[in-house]
Every structure is written in structure tokens, then in C-alpha cells.
Structure 1
Amino acid sequence: MLKVGLLGAGRIGNVHAKAISAHPGSKLVAVSDVFAENAEKLAAEYGVAVKSSEEIIADPAIDAVLIATSTDTHSPLIEAATAAGKAVLCEKPVDLSLERARACLAAVEPTGQPVMIGFNRRFDPSFGALKAAAQGGEIGKAELLALTSFDPAPPPVEYVKVSGGLFRDMMIHDFDMANFLMGEAPVTVSAAGSSIVDPAIGAAGDVDTAVVTMTYADGRIAVIKNSRRAAYGYDQRIELLGSEGLLQAQNQLENLVVKSTAGGVTGAKPTWFFLERYMPAYEAEWAAFVEAVEAGTPMPVTLADGVAALAMAEAAARSLAEGKPVALAGIQ
């Protein structure tokens, strides 16, 4: 039984607490949060202890920690936990600074401790099936990838100011998914973006609408579309065109009822947000982590994967600022 400490009891921490507690091979034993009331509420719900993050990391009875704290704490907590001999699952991104993330990777490698980064979309059943079909050669050679990720509404500006921006906070999922599906990182990254959803986001130095085009060494192309606003719900789609066909992963809908009348054909909207859309993926992600820890096998999403996605986000931000494509190899 894997004994787990949860660092961070906010919205995403609650999602992970549910997944940890539901798994037969893991047990949530302690929780921490900088806001005492958050930790106390979650601890009471699951009947676990409230401790500081430092106490959880130092506790020899705790086998693993799940890091769901603010992004600026991720790298230090990963380093402290692995130095203490614990397995780690950390929410994305690894850090807001690519340099700091790379330093974290260098510090963790000598410990030999397993670290997994929380790119939960890799574990979505539909996306996984699309990956398997592509890998099995069902559409020939993959040539053009299109990733669509639209949120139903923009986050508060206060969140935008500390999140690292759309590329590092939101699109980083799509950068990782592109690497997952294409099997390698791109050669160039080209970004276009603007703030047309909420002027306050632009005033904070970020964009809320963006398109990134990536090219690969063999001529393949990937396009990512992000928006902080889709009035109809959480839009999450993948389209992969190959030499012999097309693979598509469509939205998850609120229900599967379709009404057909003389006035037209209508159906349900996509699920509203990530909690509804991706809870099965969070559960599958945690199951994969537990299995890897118990078996001593490599993590399905590594710390290096997290650094790679962050490098692509950095390249996109630089491309937007410079108004030209950026070579990924030149990102330091």
C-alpha cells in the first residue's frame, strides 16, 4: 500500500485526493496547504492528518508525495522530496523558468527517485486510443496534427498574473500532447496571439487567444489553437491526418441525445470544464503512477517530458515577442 502525502489542497488538490483515495493500492495519509482552512477541510473529508509540506517530506512513513501547489514551488518541492527518497507526481508545469526546470532535472537525476509530471491528457481514453491507432499504422504516416483547446471562460486576472501565461499554463498541455503523438519535439515554433477576450489579460502582459504552428525535421506540421473563451463549453479535440486516412478525437458531450425535427438536428454541448471532462484521465494517471512505483518501471510521463514541454512554451513566447519563427534548439 503506497502511503501518500498531498501538497496543496486547492481545486486540483481535491481532484487528486479523490483519485488517490479511490485507488486500492494507495492511501492518502496527510495533506498540507499554505491556507490552513483548505488543508483542514480536505483532511476532515478524508480523515487524514494536516501537516506542513516540510513535515510530509521528512516523514519516513510516507512513500510518495503529490505536488499540487503553486507553480513557483514545484521545482523546490520536487528536489526536496526526491532527496528524501520519495516518489513524486507533480502537477504541470515543472516551473515558470526553463532554466530552473532544467536545474531541477539535473538535481533529481542523481537521486534515482521516480518523478512523474501531471500531463493527465495522455491518459484520456479517447486520446490514448487515437495514439494507439496512429502508432499501429492505421492511417499510414502521420503528416498534419491539429490540437484544439478552448476554455469556457477566462480565469481571473489575478490568476493570469502568477500563472506564467497562456503558453506555460494552458497550452503546455498541448505541447506535451504534440510530443506524445508525434513522437518527438519540433524543429521550429511559430506563435501568433492577441488579447481579445478580456482586455485586462492583455494589460497583465498575456494573451487569451493564440495559434502556434510547429514544423518537424521530416516535414510534418502541427497546429495548436487555444482560446480562453468558448461560450458553448470546454472544447477539446484532436485531428491527425496521415498518408492513408484521418483520426479524430471529438468532444465529450453532456449527453448523447440528438433531436431531429423539421427545424433541424441538435445535440448536447461539450462538458463544461476540465473537472467534468478529465476526471477519468486523472484517475488513470494516478493508477499509472502507482503501478510504475510498485513495479519499479519508468514513469510514463517523465520530468524530462515536463522540461521539453516548457521549452516549447518558452519558444512560443519568444516567437510571439519577436514576430518570427524560433528554432527550438536555440532555446536556453
Structure 2
Amino acid sequence: MLNAAIVGLGGWGQTLVRSVQDKSELIRFVAGATRTRSKAEEFATTNGIRLLDDLAAVIADPAVEAIVLATPHLDHVDQVEMIAAAGKPVYVEKPFALTQESAERAVAAAERAGITLAVGHNRRFHPSMGRLRSMIREGRLGKILHCHASLTTTSGLFLAPDGWRSDPHQSPAGGMTGLGIHLVDGMIDLFGKIESVACQSVHRAVPSGAEDTTSVLLRLTSGQTASLLALTATTPGYEFSVYGSQGMAQVSSPTLETFTWQGVAPSVAAARTPPPAETEVTAGVDSVRLALEAFAGAATGGAPFPIRHDEIIHGVAVLEAIIKAANTGRFVTIA
């Protein structure tokens, strides 16, 4: 059992705790720290978490074996460097960083220290995404033509205008840092490096005035194309569709539980009555718990965390390019 601390006990930090506390045999939270202690005291007491003053106190606590960060995006890199210097494993909520240079600096600190470094792209761990990954790698979709992905939520409608998630410096390009970065990670996982991006990001509805409607075109090194949508002011939903010369596969529903596959008809004549779609539903999966348990396993000598350091850095580089493209209205090439 890995004894971890949670730093940042806002809404998402509490979600991380709930996913494993008294449920997992691999990780539990024993301590924590947060900016506004009074808002987290009841939750901490209910979940058996000792609240400490700050990250420095968490790092110094000998009972804390690993640290999970659910803090503002711009804080991540300095915090990773502090934790790495103390030799403790660290799990960082996405986005890992906002610039490639800062991501490289944090990864280098972790590598020098020899610690486990993980990032919270929990959707990679859902069985539906695993099935899609297997089909692509087995070649069942044929030549990959295009991927379209979308992730939508109502969260922007309820964000406080003075909250850090409404700050364009912390959350640039609309829903990219909270939503779209998951879709970018899925594309990197399934298809490899992304070469260039174009983005438009506008405000339509959220009361804070933040951008809430973001669309991106992507060109991959492999030659295939992709597109994504990140919307923060509409009905919650998820779609990850891959179109190949031998068929189409899709992961859908807000919980990623629905997997659909439809093959290409074998002839023009047969295309008039295409093969029926196959649908499989995998309900009740907590991908947040799966990601934290993968981190715990890696931190205690098990299998390495499946998101490689070079993938973490490339994901941030793509995010940085998307942010730049949103401000320039043109394609941006990724270094």
C-alpha cells in the first residue's frame, strides 16, 4: 500500500481521493495540503487525511511516500522540482505544464532523482480505449485516414469569474487544458507524434467571459489528419472516432463505456447493405482509480507507468502549439 499525500483539495483533488480511499489495495491518501484549508477540513476529516500547512510540510512528512498534485497548472513544474529533490514519486494532474521548455525541465528533475513521474491522463486506462488501441495496432482498421475526438462539459457555466480555472494565463485556449489535452494524449498514444496544428477558440456562453468553444485541426507525422473539439458550456459528452480503410471504430458516452466497430463492405454491391455495427458496453469503470493504481504500482517497483516521459513532453509541446495557433489563426509546426 502506497501512502500518498494530495496537494490541492478543490473539486478535482477530492475526486482523486474518492476514487481510491477505502477502495484500493494499492494506494491511499494519508495527508494533504490545500490553499484554503477551511474549505477542505470536513472532507479531510471524513477521509482520514491529515491536513498540513503547505507542500514543504508534505514533502518533509516521513509518513508520506508519494505526492499527487491537483494544483493550478502554472505551479506544477516548480512543485515537481521540489518533490524530485526530496526523492519522492509524483503524480501530476494534466496539463503537466504549459510550455515544452518547462515540461523538459520538470522531467529532467525527475530523471535525475530517479523517481516515478506520472501524469493524470486517466482516459488512457479505460478498457474501451484499450480495445481501440489493440484494433489499431493489429491493423484491423486498415490504413488510418482520420481521427475525430470531442470532449464536452457544462463546467464552464459554473466557474467563478475570479477562480484560477477562469484565468486565461492558467487555462489558455478555452477547454484545452481541462478537456482537449486528454484528446491530444489519446492521439499521441494511438498514432504517434503530431506535426502541426491550427486552432480557433472563442467565447460564446460562459458567464466568466472565458473561451468556451475550441476546435483544432491536427496533422500527424504519419501523414494522417485529426480534429478535436473542447467545449465547456454544453451537455457532457465524449467521442473518439478513428476512420480507416477497413472500418471505423469509436469510443463514446461521457464515461467512455460504449465501443462501436463497423467494417467496410467487401464490394460496391455489398455497400448498399453494409455490415452491421458491433457495439460493446463496459460500464462501471473508474479510470481515475486505474491511473492512480498504475502510479502506485510503478512507485513501488512494479510495471513502469505507461505514459512515457517523451510522450508527456510531446503532449505539452502540442498544447503550447495549440495555444499559439489560437492566438495567430494559422498552422503552427511543433518543434
TM-score by length of 2: 0.83
Verify the 8 A CA contact 2:325 2:331 in the aligned structure 1. yes
How far is the alpha carbon of 1:177 from its aligned partner? 1.4
Give the paired residue count: 302
Task: Quote the residue 1:173 is aligned against.
Answer: 182
Report the more deviating stretch, 99-108 or 236-245.
99-108
Is the 2:27–2:293 contact (alpha carbons within 8 Å) kept by the matching residues of 1?
Answer: no
Match of 1:31 in 2: 32
Deviation at 1:241, TM superposition (A): 0.8
1:301 to 297, 302, 307: 307
1:45 CA displacement: 0.8
Hey, what does 1:43 align to over in structure 2? 44
The alpha-carbon deviation at position 278 of structure 1 amounts to 9.3
Q: Please tell me whether residue 9 in structure 1 is matched to residue 18 in structure 2.
A: no
Q: Which residue of structure 2 aligns with residue 240 of structure 1?
A: 242
* Stretches of 4+ aligned residues off by more than 4 angstroms: none
Q: Which residue matches 1:318?
A: 324
Q: Percent identity?
A: 25
Cα distance change, pair 216–237 in 1 and its aligned pair in 2 (3 A)? same
* Aligned match of 1:188: 196
Contact 1:67 1:89 in 2 (8 A): yes
What do residues 165-224 of structure 1 show as CA deviations (whole Å, max 9, x unaligned)?
A: 223343212111111121x121111112322224752xxxx5321221111233201111
Q: Which deviates the most, 125-134 or 172-181?
A: 125-134
2:80 is aligned with 1:62 = no
Structure 2 counterpart SS, 1:225:
strand
Aligned to 2:266: none
Task: Work out whether residues 19 and 286 of structure 2, in 8 Å CA contact, stay in contact via their aligned partners in 1.
Answer: no
8 A Cα contact 2:67 2:90, kept in partner: yes
Q: Comparing both structures, which one devotes a greater share of its residues to helix?
A: 1
2:298 counterpart of 1:292? yes
Partner of 1:209: 213
Once the two structures are overlaid, the 10-residue window that deviates more, 320-329 or 288-297, is 288-297
Distance 1:153 1:62 in 2: 32
Structure 2 spans left out of the alignment, 5+ residues? 259-282
Structure 1 pair 245–302 and aligned structure 2 pair: CA distance change class (3 A): same
SS in 1 for 2:198: strand
Change (3 A) 1:20 1:76: farther
The aligned residue for residue 84 of structure 2 is: 82
Question: Residue 33 of structure 1: CA displacement?
Answer: 0.9
How far has the Cα of 1:149 moved from its partner?
Answer: 1.2
**Structure 2 counterpart of 1:129, from 128, 131, 141:** 131
Amino acid of the residue matched to residue 60 of structure 1? P
Query: 8 Å contact 1:241–1:247 — kept in the other structure?
Result: yes
- Structure 1: which 5+ residue stretches go unaligned? 257-276
Structural mapping, 1:225-264, within 5 Å: 225-230=229-234, 233-252=235-254
Evaluate the alpha carbon distance shift between residue 74 and residue 191 of structure 1 in structure 2; reply closer, same or farther with a 3 A threshold: same
Counterparts in 2 of 1:33 and 1:302: CA distance versus 1, 3 Å: farther
Conserved in 2, the CA contact under 8 Å of 1:192 and 1:210? yes
Normalising by structure 1, what TM-score?
Answer: 0.83
Measured against aligned partners, the alpha-carbon deviations of 1:128-186 in whole angstroms (never above 9, x if no partner) come to 2212222222212322100011213525233321532223343212111111121x121
What secondary structure, in the 3-state scheme, does the structure 2 residue paired with 1:246 have? strand
